[in-house]
Amino acid sequence: MARRGARAWLARFAAPAAFLLAATVAVLIVRAGLRSDDPAPRRSARETTTTTRTTARPPPATTTRPRTTATRPATPQRFYVVESGDTLATIADEYDTTVERLLELNPDADPVALSIGQRVRVP
């Protein structure tokens, strides 16, 4: 009777444990083959390596002059201070622009929750 209990224990616990051990070993072998932290493949002692040196070529000389662009003086930024009852739509109508343009100028502004006293950049 004791023999039968030992076999049942072996079948119940040892067989799945052996399977998990074999699967773990297989995963470790595959991971070792896929590891990419070794940049050069391993070579045998008989293989020889040849090193080739390359030098960077200087950029070709140009005879054209670099372009100069005229800079416009920066236009001063204009702001609107939000009052009670204001929405982006009413501000856009007042400044003859669109809500989308106001959102471009004010990317951090929440179009649903404007605060009284908040500064909104306008075109």
Look up the pTM and report it. 0.40
- Between CA 8 and CA 12 the distance in angstroms is 6
Residues 35, 39, 42, 47: what is their CA dihedral angle, to the nearest 10 degrees? 160
Residue percentage of the chain with pLDDT more than 70:
66
- Residue range 64-86: average pLDDT? 78
Which stretches of 4-118 are assigned E, i.e. beta strand? 78-81
